[in-house]
Each structure stands twice: as structure tokens, then as C-alpha cells.
Homo-oligomer: A and B are copies of this chain.
């Protein structure tokens, strides 16, 4: 199956290289920006790719929405299969692209857009045909996991030095906002929600790691807790939830063992129980290998990851109910009735709250943040301090 590649950056070049060796696949032309077609197998003329009947599939690795969206639309409308690593594209326009794919009987797959090399979406799409998916959650952003791991491995490691190190290794971008705010992980969990539940959320909420300090880490470590940034989606009677927040785990939790820039993603199926996947969430070859696996799946007959009838909608369910560790100015402690006061430092207090729904906690902290810009919170995993947990 001859496959054209859109973009020749880190991932695009990896896809092109892997296409040369993959069983039953063949590398087609590589589409690059105007004037960048410096070898015969590169082209800046997309029409030429569309018009070539020998090209059966297109793999997109340009990122962003423009021109990725219009190229995706045109690829699928022409009846060629479309595979992408672009989470922003699928999170924004996935439903529309799926409709076009269906009309022209083309495949639309995007494993690499959630978890990089970690085969979460592929397996989720297969599992949900036969099993009821209850929830999906995991560490879906390698940059922030690397940073948290740095801060927790090097005693007293600051947020700034962890960010700097991640940037120097190429794990974090010059503008790291999408990663450290949790937005990147939120986009990924929205895709997982769509594959698992047939609802692609247009919203959801996220708390990142920007306010995590070396003192926070020290405090958690003194209680035997490990901090990770977790994305979650679940379907309950109230609907679908989708959100990202820092979570504290016990030292023997699987999440605690996820080091460096690795990802860990799990789904819970009514029949299968909890199934987890771990691997590299980014990088040239891990991401390219996920794109190639999608192309192999198409060769075997796969056509879609979204369930039939997947639609956009609101993730308006309040999420899980957890106790939270909160650090805020003393003036705001009264907003957490029934909270246990764990420590006081200068003008700040550390609280362990009564159980809150995620949505309530996030919006409460948004309110506090207008006054206390450094407020920080993390959910307590129910298994971390089990004797203490009542919801």
C-alpha cells in the first residue's frame, strides 16, 4: 500500500524511513512546504499526490490545523486512507473527517495522536466492540512526566530547572504552555473518550503542573506520595467526563513506576478489567511506529477508530470524587469545610480536603486563583491512603 507522507519533520522523516521496511507498505511522495521539495521524492504539489492513483494512503505529520485540516479533507474525499499523529486536528475536526471518510469508504485512523507509541487507541477501538468501556486514564504527556520525575528524583529540584532540562533534551518546546497546562493531555483524553464512548468532547477542564514547587514535592515525599499528571475520562449515568489534574499516588502504584518521558494509559472494561499500556509517548520512531501500525491495520481491513455515530458533545459529568491536597493562602482555607490542616508555612496552609467532585474542585480553585495565583492542588489516589478514604 503506497503511502504519501505529509511533512518531513521529526515524525514525518521517521514514517518515511519505516515505510521502506514495512511488510506490504511502500513509501510514496513526501509533501513539503512550497520551495522545500529538494529531492525527487519530495513534492510541494498536493494535487499531484491526490491525482496519483498508485497512492492509496496518506500519513500526516505536519501538526497544527492549517493546512492539515484541508489536506485531510481532500485526502479522505478522494477516497484515499488518512492516518495522522495530529491530536489537535482530530480533537477539533475528528467528527467531520470521520463523516467524509465514511462517505468515501476510506479509513481514518489516528493511534499516534494519543500516547505516541503507546497502542491505547487501537486496543480501545477493538475492545469497545465487544466490551463496555467504563473509564480511560493515564499519564499522556511525556514532557510533564519527565519534569515531575526530575523534580522527584533530584532532591529540591525546582520547576524551572526541570523545565530547562526538558527543553534542552528536546522534550519541551520553547513555549511549553500546552504541555505544562495540561491542555495537550486533555486533547488526548478527548480522543480516547470519543473512541471509547462515541462522544468527542468539545470541552473538559485541566489543571497542569505550573504551580508545583520543590516544597510541594518535598511535602508529598515526606508522606510517601508520588505526583503524576493524569488525564481521565469516564462514562457514568450523568454523562461523560474528561479532565486533567495532578494526582498523588502511593509508592507502589504502577503510575509511580513511570519514569522519565514515558506514558502509561489504562482502560477499564466491564469484562476485561483494567488493561494498561506503557511506552514512549513521543519521539521520532515510537510515534512513527504507531502511524505504521495504523497503516498495517488498514491493510488488514481496519477502517475506523470512532464508533459509528460518534458526535461532538459536552463532557459535562463532574468526574471522580476524591480527597484533594490543596496549598493556598490561609485566607482561603475556609472554602474547604471539613478539610484537615496538614501544615502551615508563612502565609500558606496545606489542607487535605473532604471528598470533592473533580469539577467542583477545579472551579473552586479557578475562583481562588483570581486572588492567589500560586494555589496548587492534587487529587489523592484512593489507594494511596486507603484507610482514610471515604467518598
Is the Cβ of B301 less than 8 Å from the Cβ of A289?
no
Q: Please give the distance in Å from A307's CB to the nearest CB on chain B.
A: 9
**Residues of chain B contacted by A272 (CB below 8 angstroms):** 117, 279-280, 285-286, 289-290
A277-309 contacts to B (CB < 8 Å): 277-280, 283, 285-286, 288-290, 292-293, 295-297, 300-303
Specify which chain B residues have a CB less than 8 angstroms from the CB of A273 in the assembled complex: 117, 279-280, 283, 285-286
Is A21 interfacial (CB-CB < 8 Å)? yes
Question: Which of the four size classes fits the interface of chain A?
Answer: 35 or more
Q: Does A331 contact B (CB under 8 A)?
A: no
Contact A271 B257 (CB under 8 A): no
Main secondary structure of the interface of A (DSSP, over half): mixed
Cβ–Cβ contact B293 & A127, under 8 A: yes
Q: Are A21 and B130 within 8 A (Cβ)?
A: yes
Closest B residue to A272 using CB positions: B289
CB A266 to nearest CB in B, in angstroms, measures 8
Cα–Cα distance between A288 and B130 once the two chains are bound (Å)? 10
CA distance A94 to B252 in the complex (A): 38
How far apart are A7's CB and chain B's nearest CB, in angstroms? 18
Q: Which A242-284 residues have a C-beta within 8 angstroms of B?
A: 251-254, 256-259, 266, 269-280, 283
Chain B contacts of A271 at CB under 8 A?
14, 18, 285-286, 288-289, 292
28 A-B pairs in the complex with CB atoms less than 8 angstroms apart? A14-B271, A18-B271, A22-B129, A23-B130, A119-B275, A122-B123, A127-B293, A129-B293, A130-B292, A130-B293, A131-B292, A251-B252, A252-B256, A254-B258, A254-B278, A269-B289, A272-B285, A273-B280, A273-B283, A273-B286, A274-B280, A275-B277, A275-B278, A275-B279, A276-B277, A297-B300, A300-B300, A300-B302
